[in-house]
Structure 1
Amino acid sequence: MTSRIAIVGGHGKTGRAVAAALARRDVVPVPLGRAEWPVLADHLAVCAAAYVIAPNLHPDEPSYVAEALAAVEQADVGRVAYHSVASPYVPAMPHHLGKAVSEDLVRRSRPTWTILQPGAYLQNLDLTADLEIPYDVDAVFGFADLAEVGEAAAVVLTEDGHAGATYELATRVATPAQLAAEAGYVARRVEPGDVHPWLRAMFAYYDEHGLPVGTGPLGLLLGRVGRVGGPA
């Protein structure tokens, strides 16, 4: 029987990337949104594992994750992976702290768990023209390719050796200015305008610190520098 894996919050770009990676492994992805929450456990009951993604800038991500985990446990799903963020324990970025609290909930849940902490997506930068961003163009980031994040999720959901693991994910380390120059364009900083306060706080943090993330864990997961093995 073909394995089915649920993607809770699976209708956005991250969910679609995870679904595509699972399908390449002959796994049936089951994307689930808030419409399914009244009977979420019923949908999860036919799945071998679940990947939990909260909506971007969710006002109370821990509550969202707690509800998802309750349904996972009710459905007796044996494996769960949570989509977090690189550097979740940063007081200057409130939405990161929400993921830190959610990580704690995942670690104390009953199923076998894995946590993925991707850096900023490369796909969030428009490199088809001069790049305009609301933070320092020379700040250093560990950028993650969306398709590779999806593949990493598929690995930890379907292979052994990842129980209790937390992986930071980055495809490459660069500055926005470097990425723009490689594409033949110039990067410049612009004022952010009227944006969510959490985003303004994030931009201020990026100005001071960037968001460095190492590339080693993703390389391991995707088989570029060996494999992660051992019992589940």
Structure 2
Amino acid sequence: MRVGIVGGHGKTGRAVAAALAVRGVESVALGRSDQPDLAALAGCDAAYLVAPNFHPDEPAYVASALAACERHGVGRVVYHSVASPYLPAMPHHLGKARSEDLVRRSGLGWTIVQPAVYLQNFDLTRPLLVPYDVHAPFGFLDLADLGEAAATVLTEDRHEGATYELASRTGSVADLAAGAGTSAERVEVGPDVPEGLRTMFAYYDAYGLPAGTLVLRALLGRP
């Protein structure tokens, strides 16, 4: 089996490639530019699709990748969405919700994964300073768990047509800090922070981003 990873040079793509390698599955990493060279999808049995962060038109990006999959005979695709894609307050989440719709109507065999916030976004060796309520509820996902879940759905037939929310644990940033023996504090964002990030932080401040762990435990067959 051969898997093309669109967005394979980022931390997500590397985690997926590493998990596939453990299973003896060959993967090829494709770039994350606005128009990545997708010719390398030729000869791939499946594709894992990750769009660049805060892409200005993710549905167009995904549509292009889906067309390339069809053109090169890739029979199945796993789309990397986000936990709670339909959030009108966050335009980049809505872009993923629209992209999910494109994937479902693509005619390809598909699976959608909806990852929670990465645990690796937090440096637990020092006090955590975040621009939102440190007690807001979150689902957190370990990159190694993401890679293993992605490898599972890419290499097994029984996941076609499924949408999986993925989180390794639940809690708050304050809980993460306490577990690591450090502290967590809410700080104000500076004037140079892009509007998309400001919107996201404001949503986190009010609601967090909860996600459950049961699906991931079922996929991996372990706690």
TM bin (shorter chain): over 0.9
1:175 paired residue number: 172
Structure 1 residues 83-162: aligned runs within 5 Å = 83-162=80-159
User: What is the aligned partner in structure 1 of residue 12 from structure 2?
Assistant: 14
Runs of 4+ in 1 over 4 A off after TM superposition: 34-39
**1:38 to 1:86, Cα distance in 2 relative to 1, 3 A:** closer
Instruction: Supply the AA of the counterpart residue of 2:195.
Output: P
SS at match of 1:15: helix
With the length of structure 1 as denominator, give the TM-score of the two structures. Answer: 0.93
Give me the whole-angstrom Cα distance separating, in 1, the residues matched to 2:206 and 2:36.
43
Residue 204 of structure 2: aligned partner: 206
Could you tell me how far 1:39 is from its partner in structure 2? 5.2
CA distance in 2, matches of 1:49, 1:36: 21
* 1:220 corresponds to: 218
Q: 1:197 aligns with which of 188, 195, 198?
A: 195
Q: Label 1:38 to 1:150 Cα distance change in 2 as closer, same or farther (>3 A).
A: closer
How much is the aligned-residue C-alpha RMSD, in angstroms? 1.4
TM-score w.r.t. the length of structure 2 is: 0.96
What is residue 228 of structure 1 aligned with on the other side? Answer: none
Q: Partner amino acid for 1:29?
A: S
Q: CA deviation at 1:53?
A: 0.3
Distance (Å, rounded) in 1 between the aligned partners of 2:220 and 2:204: 28
Query: Counterparts of 1:34 and 1:128 in 2: how far apart (Å)?
Result: 30
Deviations 1:97-139 (A, max 9, x none): 0000100000000210000000100000111111100100000
Q: Distance in 2 between matches of 1:217 and 1:208?
A: 25
Matched residues, number: 222
Counterpart Cα distance in 2 of 1:221 and 1:195: 37
Q: CA deviation at 1:9?
A: 1.2
Cα distance 1:181–1:103, how it changes in 2: closer, same or farther (>3 A)? Answer: same
- How big is each residue's C-alpha offset from its partner over 1:81-104, in whole Å with a ceiling of 9 and x where there is no partner? 000000000001111000001000
Deviations 1:121-180 (A, max 9, x none): 000011111110010000010100011111111100001210110000000001100110
Equivalents in 1 of 2:33, 2:188: separation in Å? 37
Q: Which runs of 5+ in 2 are unaligned?
A: none
Partner of 1:229 in structure 2? none
Give 1:36 shift.
11
Distance 1:31 1:122 in 2: 23
